A and B are shown apart, each in its own frame.
With several copies, the nearest count.
Chain A
Amino acid sequence: MINPREIRKDFPILEQQVNGRPLVYLDNAATTQKPRQVIEALVRYYETSNANIHRGIHTLAVRATEQYEAVRGKTAVFLKASHAEDIVFTRNTTEALNLVARAWGDANVHEGDEIVLTLMEHHSNIVPWQQLARRTGAVLRYAGITPEGKLDLDEVRGMIGPRTKVVSVVHMSNVLGTINPVAEIGEMARKAGALMVVDGAQSAPHLPVDIEALGCDFFAFSAHKMLGPTGVGVLWARRGLLETMEPFLGGGDMIALVRQDESTWADVPHKFEAGTPNIADVIAFGAALDYLGNLGMGAVRAHEMALTAYAMEQLSSIEGLKMHGPERADERGGVVSFAMNLAHPHDIATIADGHGVAIRAGHHCAQLLMRHLGVAATSRASFSIYNDKDDIEALAEALEHVNRVFGDGSSRAAI
């Protein structure tokens, strides 16, 4: 059982006041806060072990290399992956998906091939494929969304066929909260001889992930959305796949032998980590994985699901408020997007901020989904382990205030 009150003690940032009120941080889908264990891991690294890795003989270099590579192992354990060498560290989910679109896509996708996406993808899982399509002449196809905000599986099924080369789907939507049946879709892709890419930016932080059970070929996520530092992303690839791929970025640390005209590459995963990696942050990400591991991702999920249910209940009593996405909390992650009759999302976010409540307003890097929903923007509250019912109530209070501000003059006069 997660006890947010206890957990909060590990998050120094949450102690502050914002606009005279205690900070209520509900922008976790954008990035989460970091426990002191992660901050301390950074400090410890820079105060005791900092050195460039992989080639050094001196003590600090060996120490830093061991710590860095140990986190690859921890990441594998977190994903229940069998091999640490199948994990490449990138800057973020975005870079991981670009790596796939370039290093795998450029060699395997050709004119007329089809790339299947969905209308609920984040721009990071759209633009790299658009760029690939432009380079290769491949065709993009987008599966639609049901009125309840779920992926239209029949459409996905109908779309995947012999011309499909790759299917790339978000595991959990950062706007609707929808959790997609990626294992099932992966099965469709496999049967069609296509590869399955999963954007796990929102799922790895919030759901127990068993990478082998997902049956996908690539899985990408970001440390900063799961208590880790900024600047670290993860790309996991199915056994053997990285070996078949040409490198993406070229430079130090990814080579075996450099000659004037051509070079040979280091073994995976190093082949894909050119230049000095973000050593300190990868090591600190290890502390984030430990933190989540100690809580247990099952408990994290249970806590956030309960909170989501409570939020949906509280918000449903606010006049003129409409929530997007699946109705049942067990079919969605801890993300609640909504619209209000009277006020624009930006005004809602400003007024919430006036209450110390941090929510996000905008297109959430999902313009195709906004267009599908027929809105320019939504307001979004998203949860993490340190949030509790009080936070939801503070949000609800702020939203009531929105209605008072934007209601007719008479009720406004009363506040």
Chain B
Amino acid sequence: MAVAEPQFDDLYREIILDHYRRPRNRGELAAPSQRVEGVNPVCGDEIHLDLEIGDNTIRDVSYWGHGCSISQSSASMLTERLKGCSIEEAERVMGKVRAMLIDGATPDDEIGDLQALEGVARLPVRVKCALLCWNVLKEGLQQATTAA
């Protein structure tokens, strides 16, 4: 029998690896309005998000933490995609990313680079890696809304 090609190369798409190797918006913000964090106790992945929210807009966002390429690149792409977005748009993007990861929904262009995470949905055990920063974001947005 012919040996199959190694699987999961589509998981590690170049765009993911690029965000993993050259993280965008990594570090702390000078004056975040929200600072939120999340840990995945099972695998130890850790994500911190700094958000600067005002006028219903994510004026700035950064992240730091450690973990696998999926959790870290997901966070990097999150910051890149949402910086400067209205809360409304951020929530729409978040909804689409979650639908893609959790329900396997087909992503559309609105989520940008994040479409590269589509392959993760096929691997339930890694979905939580990709979701981690989005769970953290959700909490951050909730805090912002409550504070407002």
Contact = CB atoms under 8 A, between A and B. Distances in A.
B6 A57 contact: no
Interface in A120-165: none
A94 B35 CA distance: 39
Secondary structure type dominating chain B contacts? loop
Contacts of B125: 56-57, 61-62, 65
Nearest to B12: A405
B3 interface: yes
A20 B6 CA distance: 8
Contact of A377 (B5, B12, B43, B129): B43
A351 B67 contact: no
Contacts of A350: 8, 11, 123, 126
Contacts of A256: 41
Interface in A374-409: 376-377, 398, 401, 405-406, 408-409
Interface stretch (A201-209, A294-302, A340-348): A340-348
B30 interface: no
Contacts of A21: 3-4, 6
A302 B123 CA distance: 38
A344 B69 contact: yes
Given A376-B67, A409-B14, A55 B42 contact: yes
Interface string A319-355: 0000000000000000000000001111100110111
Interface residues of A, number: 39
A354 B9 contact: yes
Contact of A412 (B8, B11, B14): B14
A213 interface: no
A405 B17 contact: yes
B22 to A, nearest CB: 11
B142 to A, nearest CB: 20
Contacts of A415: 9
Contacts of A412: 14, 17
Given A354-B9, A377-B44, A405-B9, A346 B129 contact: yes
A346 B68 contact: yes
A347 B124 contact: no
Nearest to A362: B43
A19 interface: yes
B66 interface: yes
Contacts of B21: 408
Contacts of A19: 4, 6-8
Contact of B17 (A62, A363, A406): A406
B71 to A, nearest CB: 8
Contacts of B17: 405-406, 409, 412
Interface residues of B, number: 29
Contacts of B11: 350
A266 B39 CA distance: 12
Given A343-B69, A344-B69, A351 B12 contact: yes
A406 B69 CA distance: 9
Contacts of B12: 347, 351, 405-406
A257 B41 contact: yes
Contact of A351 (B6, B18, B66): B6
A36 interface: no
A343 B123 CA distance: 18
Residue with the highest number of chain A CB atoms closer than 10 Å, among B3, B6, B124: B6
B70 interface: yes
Interface in B41-88: 41-46, 66-70
A110 interface: no
A344 B67 contact: yes
A55 B126 CA distance: 11
B14 A347 contact: no
Given A362-B44, A363-B44, A409-B14, A347 B69 contact: yes
B117 to A, nearest CB: 14
Contacts of A257: 41
A227 to B, nearest CB: 26
Residue with the highest number of chain A CB atoms closer than 10 Å, among B7, B21, B67, B123: B7
A54 interface: yes
A376 B3 CA distance: 34
Contacts of A363: 44
Interface string A248-280: 000000001100000000100000000000000
Contacts of B14: 409, 412
A248 B42 CA distance: 20
Nearest to B126: A350
A409 B123 CA distance: 24
A347 B41 contact: no
A347 B68 contact: yes
The 5 A-B residue pairs with the shortest CB-CB distance in the complex, in nearest-first order: A20-B4, A354-B7, A354-B8, A344-B68, A346-B68
6 contacts: A344-B68, A350-B123, A361-B43, A362-B42, A377-B44, A406-B69
Given A19-B6, A256-B41, A408-B21, 10 more contacts: A55-B42, A62-B124, A66-B124, A344-B67, A345-B68, A346-B67, A350-B123, A363-B44, A406-B69, A412-B17
